[in-house]
Chains A and B, each alone.
Chain A
Amino acid sequence: MASRKRAFVQAINEALFQAMEHDPLVIVLGEDVAGGAGQKEDAWGGVMGATKGLIGRFGADRVIDTPISETGLIGMAVGAAATGLRPVAELMFMDFIGVCFDQLLNQAAKLRYMFGGKAKVPLVVRTMIGAGVRAAAQHSQSLHALTTAIPGLKTVVPSNPYDAKGLLLAAIADDDPVIFCEPKSLYTVSGEVPEEPYIVPLGKAAIARQGGSVTIVACGRMVDTSLAAAKTLAGMGIEAEVVDLRTLSPLDEETVLQSLGKTGYLVVVDEAPPRCGMATDIAALAADKGFDLLRGPIRRVTAPHSPVPFSPILEDAYIPSPAQVVEAVHSALEG
């Protein structure tokens, strides 16, 4: 079959088009999702163009520009989801979650449980995460652990264009509220994206690279970082298996533990700071449920316990690098 390459952001755009074509109850709302130019055409189509063209095809009733009012727009999406729509709300940067957190923490996540199962909230919040674009401390955070920690929410972090499309279609079809974290530095990265709609199921990790020497667990952009490290390690005779979690909640514990059973060594790589984060969570999983499988100490590679800095030299030092992953693998193997 002919290769069909698309950028990550185009994969997102294609999933939105296909979901809206498929189901008239799917709506898209957010700040500048059309972005001016009247009611029939978009000017921006999202700050990064992820929603480009939607308003022209589906109209202003289903593609709704909102004021810069995160509480209002996310809360509106929650209320719409609880009453029959399947909204895809754009929270431009996940850093802005503080502005609307109540609507996610106390409303979206809890309505179903508090109402004794008599409601559902089929909501997707698309949001950008991650450093690397010189956007400084309030536009660069990787806050996926925040929503992973909240029962009632699901959290997805795709690492490549293929998964971005399939996971987004799965999230929109899902009946629970899903926080869909898009690593912004991957937006321009291209990869294989089939044209037809397809689902990548939530709660299923992927083996991004097979190997028998050590398990490296990562998500989002850190999957590429881990693969780069694995390439270097291969030159040293160490075959790393890279597990791409894809969704943090639900978490595919089985795939992580299976890989650990195969390799006996674990390194976890996360772009977020270390405390109470994804890397810590996976380390705890291995210690709890995989202790007998471990043949050496668990190593974590994370950003430091610090805000994301602006100056390029500082930001580059902040983001976990392939060299750090290589070093952590050596440290894990040497004990």
Chain B
Amino acid sequence: MEFSGDRLVETYRTMRTIRSFEQTLNELSQAGRVPGFLHLYAGEEAIAAGVCSSLADGDYVTSTHRGHGHSIAKGVDLNAMMAEIFGKSTGICRGKGGSMHIADVSKGMLGANGIVGAGIPLAIGAALSAKVRKSGGVTIAFFGDGATNQGAFHESLNIASILKLPVVFVIENNGYGEATPVEYHVNIPDLAVRATSYGIPGVIADGMDFFDVFEKASTAIERARRGDGPTLIECKTYRYFGHYVGDPLTYRSKEETEKVRSSRDPIDNFEKRVVSGGKVSASALRAVDDQVSKAIAEAVKFAEASPPPSVSELLTDVYVNYPS
């Protein structure tokens, strides 16, 4: 597919925003300015951007504990995201969810999730809902390599296959389930082959390459929208930061990380390709860099200036309706 210059710039903006958002949070967290656990998406930007590029607001995604990238790519408001991570009343979940539960159902973002693999059954549910309501919507389940060892993965792929649900399963194989290398936790080189067990297509994408992810995801999304059922896509990627902010990273070498960053960086390689292709100028991308920096700084300012939730909100929204 041919991309217009404008679309390439917007794709770059999405990836750059994710990168800057995560780098900023890494610093803020280490400085003790953000409460709680943070799992950062830096390095994996091409997947969220490449998949969500083919989605509309009426399409859903389910996410993982590493959910900021999916939220940004799905169009969730940056200020409200940052405020949520700070636990503020202006947060997208009013400070009730935090980083691990960022969600915006109105944008089709069905939530980051603190339980590995738990978003996958929710995704087939959203797909079933689209099918019954005949909305034409597609759902994406994002999850990591570790989640493919959960029962929820197996059950959901099988059900989605037999019911021909409009869903695409996207493995973000970043090489590690927490600290454990994927080579230890499975005995196969490619997780995509697991699709065979369910009678659905299994595809491998270079998760560091926006264009490859886009091509494979858009094909799968079109297939799902046509009513031809699910696809499993394994995106091979890399996580720049640790499992969480504060991870001592004793299980992998600095050289390994450096090698990926210098040769496979999804944003650098995207820029090289689109600038050499002549559709976008480097100066246009530098302008985006400035805009993104300002937007992130603005989001941090907004979050820090926002009031915390009122303690009276402790018991709101446990139920829609609960007679006392």
Contact = CB atoms under 8 A, between A and B. Distances in A.
B101 interface: yes
A111 B158 contact: no
B94 to A, nearest CB: 3
A118 B93 contact: yes
A176 B321 contact: yes
B125 interface: yes
Interface string B187-222: 000000000000000000000000000000000000
Contact of A67 (B114, B123, B158): B158
A67 B324 CA distance: 39
B121 A72 contact: yes
A67 B124 contact: no
Interface stretch (B44-52, B104-112, B235-243, B253-261): B104-112
B133 A114 contact: no
A83 B120 contact: no
Interface in A151-208: 151-152, 154, 174-176, 201-204
Given A75-B152, A75-B156, A61 B131 contact: yes
B125 A111 contact: no
Contacts of B323: 201-204, 250
A115 B93 contact: yes
A149 interface: no
Interface in B117-135: 118, 120-133
A75 B118 contact: yes
Contacts of A116: 91-97, 317
Nearest to A115: B103
A71 B152 contact: yes
B97 A71 contact: no
Interface stretch (A5-13, A102-110, A216-224, A314-322): A102-110
B121 A71 contact: yes
B156 A72 contact: yes
Which of B103, B114, B132, B151 neighbours the largest number of chain A CB atoms within 10 Å of its CB?
B132
B131 A112 contact: no
Given A71-B121, A82-B105, A107-B122, A117 B155 contact: no
A152 to B, nearest CB: 6
Given A75-B125, A75-B152, A115-B103, A107 B118 contact: yes
Interface residues of B, number: 51
Given A71-B152, A106-B114, A113-B96, A76 B159 contact: yes
Contacts of B151: 71
A298 interface: no
Interface in A74-121: 74-85, 87, 102-103, 106-107, 111-120
A120 B125 CA distance: 14
A19 interface: no
B162 interface: yes
A78 B121 contact: yes
A64 interface: yes
B316 interface: yes
Given A67-B158, A114-B97, A117-B94, A82 B319 contact: no
B115 interface: yes
Interface string B148-166: 0001100110110011000
Nearest to A79: B125
Contacts of A74: 121
A76 B230 CA distance: 15
A27 interface: yes
Contacts of B128: 27, 64, 76, 79-80, 85
Contacts of A311: none
Contacts of B110: 79, 82-83
A78 B122 contact: yes
Nearest to A61: B132
Contact of B320 (A71, A84, A85, A175): A175
B115 A102 contact: yes
A247 to B, nearest CB: 9
Contacts of B317: 112-113, 116-117
A114 B103 contact: yes
Interface in B39-93: 60, 62, 91-93
Contacts of B114: 106
Contacts of B111: 111, 114-115
B230 to A, nearest CB: 13
A246 B89 CA distance: 37
Contacts of B132: 25, 27, 61-62, 80, 85
Contacts of A80: 125-126, 128-129, 132
B121 A79 contact: yes
A118 B96 CA distance: 11
A79 B123 contact: yes
A204 B322 CA distance: 11
B318 interface: yes
Contacts of B324: 250
A83 B129 contact: yes
Most chain-B CB neighbours within 10 Å: which of A64, A102, A106, A152?
A102
Contact of A117 (B133, B159, B162, B316): B316
B124 A75 contact: yes
A244 to B, nearest CB: 17
B129 A84 contact: yes
20 contacts: A61-B132, A66-B159, A69-B155, A71-B151, A75-B122, A76-B122, A77-B125, A79-B124, A84-B133, A114-B96, A114-B97, A114-B103, A116-B91, A116-B92, A116-B93, A117-B94, A151-B318, A154-B319, A154-B322, A174-B321
Given A76-B121, A106-B118, A113-B318, 10 more contacts: A67-B162, A69-B155, A75-B124, A75-B152, A83-B130, A114-B103, A115-B111, A116-B94, A118-B103, A175-B321
Closest 7 CB pairs of A and B: A79-B125, A75-B121, A72-B155, A117-B317, A116-B94, A79-B122, A116-B93
